[in-house]
Amino acid sequence: MERSEQNRFPLFKNRLVVFSGVEHHIMGTDYIAHGGFVREIDIWARIFEQVMVVTRLGLGPVLSDEVPYAEPNVSVVCLPAPASTDGIYGKIKMLFYLPVWLFRSLNLLSINDVVMARGPESIGFLGWLVTRFKKLPRFAKYVNQWDDYKNEPIGYRLQKKVYRDGNFGGPVMIYGAMDERRPHLVPFFPVGISQLEWERAGIQIKQRVPPPPFRLLFVGRFVYIKGIDILLDAFNFLNGKRNDLILDIVGDGPLRSSIEARIAHYGLSNVHLHGWLPPNKISQFYIQAHILIHSSRIEGFGKVLVEAMNYGLPIVGADLGVSRELVEKNHCGVLFQNGDALHLAAQINHILSSRLSMQEFGDAGRLISSDLVLERLDERYRQFVRDRVLLP
């Protein structure tokens, strides 16, 4: 089987060994995993001669978004692991597996390897541990929120401390803002839009009906960390001040009943729940919206931010690392104090008060998203390796 047609550049003649806790399943003769993770590994496989993923085998059901690797030079090694690592007992059980993990991992590595520690999962941190024993080129990628947050797992805090201190011995890709004191930390955001999707969005947004009414949009899972309660509190406050707003909420999840109860309690007849929708249906809401609200309490990489920028939407986002880097730095919208519904309402009102600001924020988003399309991601990864990773 030949390599992907997308690989038109010379490869690094090394093997990349990726340590990651993303669960894999076996389907037929293929390993499958979360689609976003697989697409990322396929990119690395177009850059390196070989890619080995050191991970664990999932024991639960296969999820709907799991797919096989497209590139033939990807291999998978599954380490033995307890059925559950939840809670303190799960972590204690996992400690008994650590010597086995370390011994097997060290035996897998060779002199021509490059190590990638992909946190924050435990096996990702194993990538850091093996570099204490093997002097190999290495880099890390931390795919959870980089800013510290309330009730954050101790293991996550420990990993971030190690990576912040610079003792890892290589660059660390983060979903956060640049830190001039720590040049080894590299803000890096994957994307989910293609050049064709970007061009199509530019045509579609010409159909956008100008306000009033102003259509606000939220896209995401109905879970606590997404802060939909904060958004509804803010929207209720705004509703008492003006009558030209509509809020569309696209998504679903375990908190749906409590969200419906909150909407009913406030009597918000201008809030519409649309459930989970396929991408071609969600695009219609991006086209008709005027502002995207990103109310998350915690966020790794907010894909919806890039999607909103792609559709020229100004963004009101929580003051998190990912929003500071993508939204505030690039003048694509405004931020509100994380968890503060009244400040969110004030920032929404601030944007609504100026059509010029809305247009400028939207235009800036379109410009930035044009540089984040999938077709340019391969070269961005290549440049990262060339500039940051010390290959032998």
- DSSP 3-state assignment of 180? coil
Residues 110 and 17: their CA atoms lie apart, in Å, by 10
Q: Are 223 and 254 in contact (CB under 8 A)?
A: yes
Q: Are 156 and 144 in contact (CB under 8 A)?
A: yes
- The band of 284, judged by pLDDT with boundaries at 50, 70 and 90, is very high
Rounded to the nearest integer, the mean pLDDT of the chain is 87
* Beta-bridge mates of residue 118: 20, 141
Q: Are 154 and 162 in contact (CB under 8 A)?
A: no
- DSSP 3-state assignment of 16? strand
- The band of 376, judged by pLDDT with boundaries at 50, 70 and 90, is confident
Concatenated DSSP letters of 91-119: HHHHHHHHHHHHHHHHHH--TTEEEEEEE
Residues 88 and 91: their CA atoms lie apart, in Å, by 5
Q: 64-121 pLDDT, tens per residue?
A: 778 999 999 999 999 987 656 555 665 676 677 788 899 999 999 999 999 999 988 8
| Residues in CB range of 361: below 8 A, 6 or more apart | 314, 315, 331, 332, 333, 334, 351
Q: How is residue 355 written in tokens?
A: 């059509």
H-helix or E-strand containing 141?
A: strand 138-142
Domains of the chain from N-terminus onward: 12-191+375-388 (3.40.50), 195-372 (3.40.50.2000)
- DSSP 3-state assignment of 218? strand
Q: 268-277 pLDDT, tens per residue?
A: 999 999 998 8
Q: Are 176 and 188 in contact (CB under 8 A)?
A: no
Q: 146-199 pLDDT, tens per residue?
A: 888 788 888 888 888 989 888 888 999 998 777 888 999 998 876 667 788 888
| CB-facing half-sphere around the CA of 164: CA atoms within 13 A | 14
Residues 38 and 44: their CA atoms lie apart, in Å, by 10
**Residue predicted with more confidence, 250 or 166:** 250
**Predicted local distance difference test score (pLDDT) of residue 248:** 97
Q: What is the pTM of this model?
A: 0.76
Residue 298's nearest CA partner among 227, 221, 219, 225 is 225
Residue 294's nearest CA partner among 261, 325, 264 is 325
Residue with tokens 């009913």: 264
**Predicted local distance difference test score (pLDDT) of residue 1:** 44
Residues 140 and 18: their CA atoms lie apart, in Å, by 9
Residue 296 has pLDDT above 80, yes or no: yes
Residue with tokens 């040049």: 183
**Residue predicted with more confidence, 288 or 5:** 288
Q: How is residue 271 written in tokens?
A: 């809030």
| Amino acid type, 64 | S
Q: Are 215 and 248 in contact (CB under 8 A)?
A: yes
**Predicted local distance difference test score (pLDDT) of residue 116:** 97
Distance of CA 389 to the CA centre of its chain: 22
